[in-house]
Amino acid sequence: MQPSDASNSPEQESQNTPVLSLDQFLPYQLNFLAEEVSRSFSRIYADQFGISIPEWRVVAILGQSGTVTAKAIGLRSTMHKTKVSRAITALEDRGFVARQANSQDLRESFIELTESGKAMYRELVPQALGFNALLKSTLTENEQTVLETAFKRLHKASETFRTK
């Protein structure tokens, strides 16, 4: 076989293929930062109440929204329904949430914080707000404004891309 007839070697192909640098890939950067920040804050509620990140998200949503369905929690948190279900079950087993069947649709339940869940939420909210303030304090007021504007634009763009 003539060299000119040979197909490209793996080395040649890899030289012609663009490389994705994750450190420069915005979706990766956003996800990495979100996970890193989430893990940092999780130390607070994990140490005090032994709850996981998904469980905290459920508690936070219920604390803000009141009684909602698991589906609504999934939509608000962007967690998969299996993860939401496991978090709700774990919280229910420890007495932090209660379920009530939906009489209009027996396939779903309404989830709400119990009194102990509300007490946990009330204890964690000031710590969450303090953590948020600490994060924001690393940015100037102008940087905070720019960041909020960028988040809004990226969110809107993401919604647009998803519907195409």
Strands (E), the chain: 68-69, 97-101, 109-113
Distance between CA atoms of residues 125 and 116, nearest Å: 14
**What's the Cα-to-Cα distance from 86 to each of 5, 54, 66, 93, 95, rounded to whole Å?**
57, 9, 19, 10, 14
Q: What's the maximum distance between 2 C-alpha atoms anywhere in the chain?
A: 79
- Expressed as residue numbers, the domain containing 142 is 22-163
Q: How high is the pLDDT of residue 1?
A: 47
Residue 94 domain flag: yes
The domain spanning residue 56 has which CATH number? 1.10.10.10
Mean pLDDT for back-to-back runs of 10 residues, the chain (164 residues):
52 77 95 96 95 98 97 96 98 98 89 98 97 98 98 93 81
- What does the pLDDT read at residue 88? 98
Please give the tally of structural domains in the chain: 1
Q: What does the alpha-carbon distance between residue 114 and residue 123 come to, in Å, rounded to a whole number? A: 14
